[in-house]
Structure 1
Amino acid sequence: MDHFLYRDGKLFAEDVPVSEIAAAVGTPFYCYSTATFERHFRLFDEALEGTDHLVCYAMKASSNQAILKTLAALGAGMDVVSGGEYARAKAAGVPGERIVFSGVGKTRDEIHAALTGGLRQFNVESEPEMAVINEVALELGVVAPITVRVNPDVDAKTHAKIATGKSENKFGIPISRAREVYAHAASLPGLKVIGIDVHIGSQLTQLEPFRLAYRKVAELTETLRADGHDIQRLDLGGGLGIPYERSNEAPPLPVEYGAMVKEELGHLGCEIEIEPGRLIAGNAGIMVSKVIYVKEGEDREFMIVDGAMNDLIRPAMYEAHHDIIPVVEPTPGEEPAAYDIVGPVCETGDTFAKSRTMAKVEAGDLIAFRSAGAYGAVMSSEYNTRPLIPEVLVNGDQFAVIRRRPTFDEMINRDTIPEWL
C-alpha cells in the first residue's frame, strides 16, 4: 500500500496534488510520502512483536536525512555500508547504539570513525577485515562488538546482480568455515563476538530461501554455543521484495515474514535484527517527469521525457520494471497507446520501458514512475551534466524540498582547472 492515489482525476501524494509540487519545484523530481514510510516501518516492527528485536533501516535504499529522521523518530535503527552513510545517520540524530555497520570493504578510517562515534556492531565480512578492526580497536583502547556474516550458499531466486547468499558471491565467509573463523575471532583481544549475520539478497518474493538460510543459522547458533561462544544476537539482513508490477502476485507480507522468523529462530532466545530497505522505501516514493515530445518512429511511438537514466538507473542497470502512470487520471474508456518511454541521455540504454501500453499523452503532460523510492535518488548521477533532481517529502497537506536541484554554475564550479591551463 502507498499514499499516491487519484482524487477527482488528479494524482495526489497524501493530501497534496502532485501537479502542485511540479509547478513549485519543476521536473523531474522525487516525491516521498511520510505516511507510507511510517506505515511500512511499523509493519515490520509489529511483525516481530513478542521478540526482543530491532528494525534497522537499510540506508542504501534511500538516505536523505529527512527520511532517516522520520524513521528514527519511530525507533528505527540504521544499517550503514560506508563511512558516508554512518556520518549521515549520526547527522540525522541516530544514536550509535542503533547503528549497524555492514559492507565488504570497510576501510581503517571508517572503522576508526565508527569506534570513536559509537555503534551497535560491525557485521564482519572477512578475516582480513577482522584483523584490521582488532588493530584499530586496540589502538583506541576499546573492544569492538562484532557479528560474522556467514554465506549459507542459498539461492535467493532473485536478479543475479542483487543475490548475495550463494557461494560465488563476494559476501561473508562460507558457513562451512564458521567454527574456525569464530574461534579466531574469540582469540583477538580487541573484538567481542556477540552474534551471527546473514543476508542472502534483495527483492526476494518467496519465503522459502529465507527459511532455508535461517535454518542453517539456527544450527550454527547451537554449534557455536556448544563451542563456548555467547551468541546473543542474530542479524538476518533484509531483502523482502515489493510488487513493482501491480498485476503480479504480491510478495509475502511482513507479518508472514515475522511469523516465519519466530518459527525458525524463536526457540534460540536471541535478539533479532532485521534490515529492510526496499520494502520500507520502495513504494514510499515516485519519480515525476514531464513529456517533452511524442515522436513517431518507423514502427513505434517514442515518449521522450525529461527524466533520464541518470535520475532513475534501475531500468538500465537491472532491466527493472516500474509502473508508469499519468498524473491526470485517464478518462474511462479512453483508447490507450503503446510507447517506448525514453529519456534525453545519449545512450540507447536510456530507456524506461518498451511497448508500454498506457493512456495517450502529449508534450507537457506529467507522468509518475511508481515504486521509485528505493535505489532511485541514491543511485542517481550527473551524467551528461544533468543536475541531481530534487527530493520532496510530503506530510499530510504539506510538502518540503529535502534536496534541491543544483544550478549549472554550482556543478561546473566544482571543477578545478590546473595552473598550466
Structure 2
Amino acid sequence: MTVAPNFQFHNGVLHAEQCSLEDLAKEHGTPLYVYSRKALKDAWDSYEQAKQGRDVLVCYGMKANSNLAILRELANHGAGFDIVSGGELARVIAAGGDPRKVVFSGVGKQRWEIEAALDAQIKCFNVESKNELLHIAQIAADKKCVAPISLRVNPDVDAHTHPYISTGLKDNKFGIAIEDAPDVYALAAQHPQLNIVGVDCHIGSQITEISPYLDALDKLLNLIDTLAKQGIQLSHLDLGGGLGIRYTDETPATPTMLLTEVFKALDARGLAHLQLVLEPGRSMVGNAGVLLTRVEYLKPSEAKNFAIVDAAMNDLIRPTLYDAWHDVEAVSPRQSGTTALEYDIVGPICESGDWLARGRKLALEQNDLLAIMSAGAYGFTMASNYNTRPRAAEILVDGTTAHVVRPREDLHSLFASERLLP
C-alpha cells in the first residue's frame, strides 16, 4: 500500500504500525477510528525539514482532527494551533498547548470567544471583516488590553479544489478583499487597542500544486510593500494551510517543495525577516487514520451490488458532502473461494446519500472487516449522532500498543441531557 505508509499488511492482515486491525476491531467494536502515532510524527517531521532553519511557526489546523491526544502529540513537537472557535481554544488549553502559538480564524467570532482568546493571550486574531475588527477593538478596550491582529485577506486565487473547500475567491465568505486591505489596516492603526502583527490568507484545502500558493503570495508581498509605505510594519506572514494528501492517485506537493519557493520569493523582495506561519490540517493527520467498519449484509440487485456496513455518513460525511474518494481495503483479504464483485459501500442511515464508497471491486462476505483509508482528517470531527447513533471510539496506536483516546459513546448519554415536559 502506498496511500498510508504506517498501515501495511503483515501475514495477510492489515496493521496500524504493529497492531492488527482485525484484533482492534474484535476488542473495541466497529465503527472504529484508528490513528498511527508514527504517522503523526512523520507528517510533523516533513514540516520541520521544510523549515530549512528559517523562522516558521506551524499552527496545526485543528478542525481536521481535534482529539486531545493528537493535540498533545503535536504540542509536544512544538506546534502552534489554528483555531476557529472558543471550543477549539479550550481544547488547545486542555491538551497542554501554548495559547501564545494560537491564531484565531473564522468569520463569526462571538464576544465570549474573543474575550477568552484575549484572556489566554493568543498570538493573534485573523480578522475577516471591518466590523469584526471594530468589535475586537471595543472588547479589548472594555477589558483594558491590546488585541494582536492580522487581517485575513482574500487574494481571489483559484486553488483548483472542490467548491466547498475553496476559500480564496471573491465569492467566498472568507477574508477581506485584498484591494480593501490597505484601508482596513489604516483603520486598525488608529485604534490603540489593536496591535497589527501580520497578514494572513488561506485559499482552500486539498491543494495538490504549488502555483496557487505562489499566486497568492505574490499578491500578499505587494500588499506588504503598500503597507510599508503607509508606515505599517508586519512581523509575520501567514500563508494558511491546505496542502493536499494522497487519497488515490494524487501526487501532492510536499512542504519542502512549497517552502523552498516561498523562501525564494521572500528573499527576492527583501522580506526574509518576516516570520512565516503555516496552518496545515489535512496534511498533518489525513493519512494518519483509518475508519474500520464491518459488513452487515450483502445485497445484490439488478442495478448494482450493495455492501451494507455498520459505519455511515454520520461517522464519515466526506463522501456524502464532497463526493470524496477514500480507498477501501479488506482488512483480511480473501485469497480464494469468493468472487470479486463491484460494490457500493453504504451505511444503515435512512438517507440515499448515506454511502462511503461507490463502484469498488472487492471479494466480500458478510462480517468481513473493511478499512476506509485516509480518514484521519475531517472524519471524527465532522461526525454526528444522526439517527441517534453513538459516535465511534478512537484508538491511537503506538507501535504494538493501542490506546483508547476516546471511548465509544454510550447510547443513553445521547439523550441524558434532554428533558420531558411535566
Q: Give the alignment's TM-score, normalised by structure 2.
A: 0.96
In the other structure, the counterpart of 2:193 is 190
Residues 6 and 39 in structure 2, CA contact (< 8 A), matched pair in contact too: yes
In the other structure, the counterpart of 1:392 is 395
Q: Deviations over 1:353-409 (max 9, x none)?
A: 222123x11111100000000000000000000001101111111111111112221
Residues 6 and 329 in structure 1, CA contact (< 8 A), matched pair in contact too: no
Alpha-carbon distance in 2 for matches of 1:306, 1:60? 25
Q: How many residues are treated as equivalent by the alignment?
A: 416
Secondary structure in 2 matching 1:184? helix
Match for 1:132 among 125, 132, 135?
135
Residues 214 and 265 in structure 1, CA contact (< 8 A), matched pair in contact too: no
Identity %: 46
Residues 152 and 216 in structure 1, CA contact (< 8 A), matched pair in contact too: yes
Q: Which sections of structure 1, spanning at least 5 residues, go unmatched?
A: none
In the other structure, the counterpart of 1:90 is 93
Match for 1:321 among 319, 322, 325?
325
1:180 equivalenced with 2:183 (yes/no): yes
Alpha-carbon distance in 2 for matches of 1:334, 1:343? 22
Alpha-carbon distance in 2 for matches of 1:117, 1:254? 30
In the other structure, the counterpart of 1:297 is 301
In the other structure, the counterpart of 1:345 is 349
Question: Deviation at 1:286?
Answer: 0.2
Q: Which sections of structure 2, spanning at least 5 residues, go unmatched?
A: none
Residues 33 and 291 in structure 2, CA contact (< 8 A), matched pair in contact too: yes
Secondary structure in 1 matching 2:179? helix
Q: Give the alignment's TM-score, normalised by structure 1.
A: 0.97
Question: Deviation at 1:216?
Answer: 0.6
Match for 1:380 among 383, 390, 395?
383
Residues 198 and 238 in structure 2, CA contact (< 8 A), matched pair in contact too: yes
Match for 2:211 among 208, 211, 227?
208
Alpha-carbon distance in 2 for matches of 1:169, 1:301? 39
1:371 equivalenced with 2:374 (yes/no): yes
In the other structure, the counterpart of 1:336 is 340
Secondary structure in 2 matching 1:73? helix
Question: Deviation at 1:255?
Answer: 1.2
Residues 155 and 168 in structure 2, CA contact (< 8 A), matched pair in contact too: yes
1:274 equivalenced with 2:275 (yes/no): no
Matches within 5 A, 1:5-20: 5-20=8-23
In the other structure, the counterpart of 1:158 is 161
Question: Deviation at 1:332?
Answer: 8.5
Q: Deviations over 1:8-49 (max 9, x none)?
A: 101110111111111111001100000001110110121022
Residues 295 and 301 in structure 1, CA contact (< 8 A), matched pair in contact too: yes
- Describe the shift of the 1:333–1:206 C-alpha distance in structure 2 as closer, same or farther (beyond 3 A): farther
- The Cα RMSD (Å) is 1.3
The AA in structure 2 aligned to 1:202 is S
In the other structure, the counterpart of 2:420 is 417
1:407 equivalenced with 2:406 (yes/no): no
Question: Deviation at 1:317?
Answer: 0.4
Alpha-carbon distance in 1 for matches of 2:393, 2:45? 27
Alpha-carbon distance in 2 for matches of 1:249, 1:71? 26
Question: Deviation at 1:418?
Answer: 2.4
1:257 equivalenced with 2:258 (yes/no): yes
The AA in structure 1 aligned to 2:263 is K
